Amino acid sequence: MSVAYDSVDQTAAAAIRLDAELRRAHPRTILEAAVESFGDKLALVSSFGAESSVLLDIAARVKPDIAVLFLDTGMLFGQTLDYRRNLAERLGLTNVRDLRPAYQDLATADPQAKLWQTDTDACCHVRKVLPLDRALGEFDAWITGRKRFHGGDRLNLPVVEHADGKVKFNPLANWGKSDLDAYAAEHDLPAHPLVAQGFPSIGCWPCTQPAEEGEDVRAGRWKGLDKTECGIHVARAPGTPNNVGGDI
């Protein structure tokens, strides 16, 4: 059964109610509740990065045909593209969608594919935010892989939240690194190949470095810049064209 919410107020109220119910629930319980509430109007957004296998495995057990949205920015490591293919096949996920930047947007904003050198926010906007905005148009709710232990803006992450007219589920918000490692070991999940090379968080190749000993998980992302998020998890003012508000 899936539920349709007719207004932003109803959607926000549903998110508050679900967060209260699911605040301490196991990630699988949260995913089951999300599927129960939203059915085919629910998507999971995954980077197929360093910690993605746990959430993807749980999702595959609950609903193998869930829509999995993968942002193929055109700037990903080849290892990530291989991992996305192999992991989806192994887990039996049948509905992984590769989201690519629009040709027109790239021709206008980044014809040389060098925008990341001068304006990372604009580059993320064209290569991540806009493609995800378009894909999320057909969904009422989505699932992310964000966790509190990543720190920064994620320290106060709720399990269920409301952003830009949609419900966002963060089933792993409560889990720490040891929980993830234990689940991956118990289910024999393959690691992203770059983890063994010192990358605890993996995004686009121009903006990802290995983390040093003792640094935060996301320390190698946009290193040296005043930037910690790509923009898909930032709620925007109503009326802006990319109003989605968004494990990336």
Q: What residue ranges bind ligand SF4 (CB under 6 A)?
A: 73, 75, 116, 120, 123-124, 127-128, 203-204, 206-207, 230
Q: Among candidates 242, 228, 231, 244, which has minimal Cα distance to 162?
A: 244
Catalytic-residue membership of 230: yes
CB of 221 to ligand SF4, least distance (A): 8
The active-site residue out of 56, 115, 217, 230 is 230
CB of 132 to ligand SF4, least distance (A): 11
C-alpha separations of 133 from 36, 114, 185 in Å = 24, 23, 34
In this complex, which beta carbon is closest to ligand SF4, that of residue 49 or of residue 245? 49
Q: Among candidates 202, 201, 193, which has minimal Cα distance to 177?
A: 201
CB of 195 to ligand SF4, least distance (A): 18
CB of 153 to ligand SF4, least distance (A): 16
In this complex, which beta carbon is closest to ligand SF4, that of residue 56 or of residue 123? 123
CA dist 225 and 18 (Å) reads 36
Q: Is 212 annotated as a binding residue?
A: no
Q: Is 124 annotated as a binding residue?
A: yes
- Asked whether 180 and 28 are in contact (CB, 8 A), the reply is no
CA dist 219 and 212 (Å) reads 8
Q: Is 25 annotated as a binding residue?
A: no
Q: Is 247 annotated as a binding residue?
A: no
The residue behind tokens 């802006």 is 240
The residue nearest ligand SF4 at its CB is 204
- Asked whether 77 and 45 are in contact (CB, 8 A), the reply is no
Residues at the annotated binding site for [4Fe-4S] cluster? 123-124, 204, 207
- Could you list the active site residues? 230
